Every structure is written in C-alpha cells, then in structure tokens.
Amino acid sequence: MASTLSVSKIQGLATAASPTTVEIASGHKISGASGSIVAPGQVIQTVSNSDGTAFTTTSTSYVNLISVSITPKFSNSKILITGTMFVTHRDYYDGRIKLVFDSGSGNTDITLGSATAEYMVRENGHPSQNFSTSNWGNTCALYSAVPYVLNFDHSPNTTSAVSYIVQGLTGHNSQTFFFNRGSTSATDILHISTIIAQEIAQ
C-alpha cells in the first residue's frame, strides 16, 4: 500500500558529499497523478537529425527534405520543433518550404491558427546586381543557400511515434529549388541542415 508524505521543504543531507543535492535513485523518477511529470516546461526528451547532402528538385508538388521522429511519453505533451534549413531558389517565381507531421495516417500541415507553417524561398541576389553577402560569417556569392529558421510547437495528442518533416517545392518546373547548397554550381559550399524535436511537459 502506498503512503503519502507531506512536507514543506526537501533538502540534501548535511553530512553528504554534496549537501545541496537531492538525488533520485537510478531508474526512478518523480511523478504526479497518473504518472504525469511534476514540472511543466520540463524537457522530457530531445531527438535530432542533420543532413549535409545537396539536393535539387523541379517538382511543383512538395517533396521531403529532412525529418525527425519522436515518440512522446505523455499524450498531453507539446513538441517543440526547431532547426535551420539551408535553401535557395533560382531564378524567377518562388520556392517554398513547409513543416508537416505524420502520426501514421499521412502528412498533415503544421498550422499557426489558420496559417500554415510555410516559408517563401527566393534567390539571394540577381545577376544584374553583382553583389555578395555574408552568410553566417562566410562571404557567399549570388544565389547562395540562405538559412531559414524553424521554431514551432505542436500538440500531437498521442504516445505513438510522430514524424516531423520539412518539405520543399518550386513555383514553376522551369526553375530549380536547392537544398543545402547554392545554385551557382555543383561545387558550391555545402551546408548542413538540422531539425530538432523536444518533448515538453505540460
């Protein structure tokens, strides 16, 4: 039979090697009712994925670029998705990237209210302008890959595996969308795109 201990303060043992530390034995955890985490905002787990492979597409439908999968421990958790995508689009029209999730029944857009988690991707410059720019400390030529930052939260309401996927497309099949590289040549500097999913206790 479980017992209840009511206290107003817990502190480390004064004679211990670290008297200001209260240690939880290996394999044990502090939990609330029904096994929930006590501290809202606590990071329960972190999963990440990186990709430094160059990829191009002329698809006008979204194609997968990079993804990360996480299995929430609690159904009421939020998932914080962050990351950096290095992309560009040449020449006219526009490219786009967006964030979707798949919990086993196909891709669904991540939305912020009524808006889709989507970015427009345009070239860094135009040939007639003849300029370069600084990209995270490196001097980059026209049409260099530009970092797009992800920062979204999502409530999957499940303890089954969920995949978060970044997708990209071109606005016209005569133009090319580039991932992890600029569009000047295949020998352009390669970048590493990352995506991170963190389960946050509620």
Domain ranges of the chain: 40-200
Separation CA 174–CA 93 (nearest Å): 9
Measured distance CA(58)–CA(170) in Å, rounded: 6
Residues contacting residue 99 through CB under 8 Å, at least 6 positions apart: 81, 109, 110, 117, 118, 150, 152, 164, 165, 166, 167
Binned average pLDDT, 10 residues per bin, the chain of 202 residues: 79 77 77 65 95 95 98 95 92 88 93 85 57 50 78 95 97 92 77 97 90
The pLDDT value given to residue 161:
97
Four-way CATH pick for 40-200: 3.40.50.80, 2.60.120.760, 2.60.120.650, 2.60.120.10: 2.60.120.760
Give residue-wise pLDDT tens across range 7-51. 888 888 877 777 777 777 887 776 665 565 567 888 999 999 999
